Amino acid sequence: MRGLRHAPDQMLHRLRRSATQRALRAQQQPRTILVVCHGNICRSPFAAGVLARALGPSGTVVASAGFVGPGRGTPAAGITAAAGRGVDLSTHRSQLLTPALVGAAHLIVVMDAPQQRRVCERFGRLPGEVIVLGDLDPHPIATRAIHDPVDQPLEAFEESYARIERCVDALVAELAPLSGPRVTEDAGSYALQGRGRE
């Protein structure tokens, strides 16, 4: 039954990937990118770290946030898995998703479709401005969502982070032909500085 439940995700993946790539190519270079997951302790801070590292010090400000629980650190297994992939989450603390953060972001990246709907409905963003990271996966997928490894062993973090890294690489490849990001880092997290959309 679980396989059947995710069959539409698998069948539609190629179409969704192409649509997401077209949407990214139609945009100007995003100067601010906000990565969102449920609690902002596992997936979104790691994705933000990989994204910031890949873009380099040339223009885009990268931040992460979540829907619940500000001020929490990344679990030990998450810190270990991230460190193995060159991202330091040891000082990360979660922050809540706010209208100011959403309003300042030129591009928002989420971990699943319900999060995309929630951001659009709550904050009035267009679906083309909020992408589901798993839609960019160049591999065949089991599910559209990036699995949340919270409260699970190291292996679950490794699996989730491997997919996030793969999808971020695909995102960066779409942004690469566009001009210019700048990255700022604050205590191991990537802080979005209040810039409105233009």
Q: Which residues are catalytic?
A: 37, 43, 148
Between CA 80 and CA 87 the distance in angstroms is: 9
Residue partners of 116: CB distance under 8 A and separation at least 6: 110, 127, 130, 131, 132
Burial of 100 by CB count in 10 Å (0-12 exposed, 13-18 middle, 19+ buried)? Answer: exposed
- CA–chain centroid gap for 54, Å, is 13
Give the CA-trace dihedral at 158, 162, 165, 170, to 10 degrees. Answer: -160
Measured between alpha carbons, how far is 189 from 94 in angstroms, rounded to an integer? Answer: 9
Which regions of the chain does DSSP assign to beta strands (E)?
A: 32-37, 61-66, 107-110, 130-132
Q: Which of 60, 64, 126 shows the shortest CA–CA distance to 92?
A: 64
